[in-house]
Chains A and B, each alone.
Chain A
Amino acid sequence: MSEYAVDAPTVLPDDPSFGPEVQIDYPGYRSTQWRAPKRKLASLPEEFHDLAGPVFGEDVIEEHDHDLTHGHPGEPLGERIIVSGTLMDEEGRPQSGALIEIWQANACGRYHHVVDQHPAPLDPNFSGGGRCLTDSEGRYRFVTIKPGAYPWGNHENAWRPAHIHFSIFGRQFVQRLVTQMYFPGDPLFAYDPIFTSVRDPKSRELLIARFDLEATQPEWALAYDWDIVLGRGGNGATPMENPQ
């Protein structure tokens, strides 16, 4: 038995009845302990869920905001990638004009952020933030580099699988989503309590992008395809009573 066993992440068994929910008090992710609300969530009248949310226009986007490899004296180090996909609602309808913001570590697994002290090099040619609006078909597209895995101190020998953070504003206020996109085949998935906080393995898989050879540009960049579905609600604490 490892001397670190006591600090090993508690990975709870898969539970499809959670659906796309996260378990917000997931014990393997230590920071949830004092931050996830303890009381039962209160209810709001149903009409609240129809309220529109903020709308952002082209004025918040600059020409190269979708290209994280741009804007520095040189090219960032790492594997250049294209990440694109369609933003939809639960009925499969494309969501146009939605603001998507992303942020990520550099190719070495280091964020351009004062709090990140991982002893991996910073890249003077990579800041790691971008944004775009979805087009008339709900499509988004970013050009960036593949982020590296990094250690995070949650437990002994804890490493985050490579990921890109996504923030999305839907049409309804309650469609707001912040999530993370992962890369196929990452060996760290099973050990990452943030990933496994999504208890249903099927929903977890939906956080993993698909390698897209067709969209890959010869001699230039690998492509990944990742669709995003905005829902209305689900607090993440309680399994659905009647899983379909």
Chain B
Amino acid sequence: MSLPRTASQTVGPYYTLGLCRRPENELADRNEPGAVQLIGQLYDGQAAPINDGLIEVWDPVGERWGRSGTDADGRFSFVVTKPAALAGQAPRLDVYVFARGLLRHQLTRVYFPDEAEANAADPVLSSLGETERATLVAEQEDGALRWDIRMQGERETVFFEH
């Protein structure tokens, strides 16, 4: 038996009523060794911040999950630790992007800037061109990790089939 799956529809602009009833953006305790802020901005194809987006982050190894709405400047913010690496892969977090105007959520991932060697050997990262690859690697910024998401444009973030 194979049933047709239920189709996706946009989260729309009012998702906070159901999905942001309490803060859930800390995958790790701030005082935990290795805990670091992951911050960034979500942009549309006109380089305007998306102020009604929702970002969900999943550490598939440590099984830690969190989500953050975006603010007026499109900013999101998490506290994370670097996940353990799966065999033959660089450590990464899996990320879903939801927003008004997205009829289905989009899948991407964020890699860590201090893992140059593992990143170079990662089968997914190394299957991408240099410009594309760069959209998936966070940068160090004042002790935090900075990672912007661009839905469109020259530096459009790489999104994956899912």
Contact = CB atoms under 8 A, between A and B. Distances in A.
B140 interface: no
B69 to A, nearest CB: 12
Contacts, number: 200
Contact of A22 (B15, B63, B104, B151): B104
A206 B162 contact: no
A198 B56 CA distance: 24
A139 to B, nearest CB: 16
Dominant secondary structure of chain B at its interface with chain A = loop
Interface string B90-116: 000010101111111111000000000
Interface centre among B16, B52, B128 (most CB of A within 10 A): B16
Nearest to A91: B1
Interface SS of A by simple majority: loop
A44 B17 CA distance: 33
B40 interface: no
Contact of A174 (B6, B151, B162): B162
Contacts of B6: 20, 177, 179, 206-207, 228-231
B7 A207 contact: yes
A233 interface: yes
Interface of B: 1-19, 21, 44-46, 48, 50, 52, 56, 58, 60, 63, 65, 94, 96, 98-107, 123-124, 127-128, 132, 151-152, 156-162
Interface of A: 19-24, 26, 29, 31-39, 41-45, 49, 51-55, 88, 90-92, 101-105, 111-113, 115-116, 127-131, 165, 167, 173-174, 176-180, 194-195, 197-198, 202-204, 206-207, 228-231, 233-236
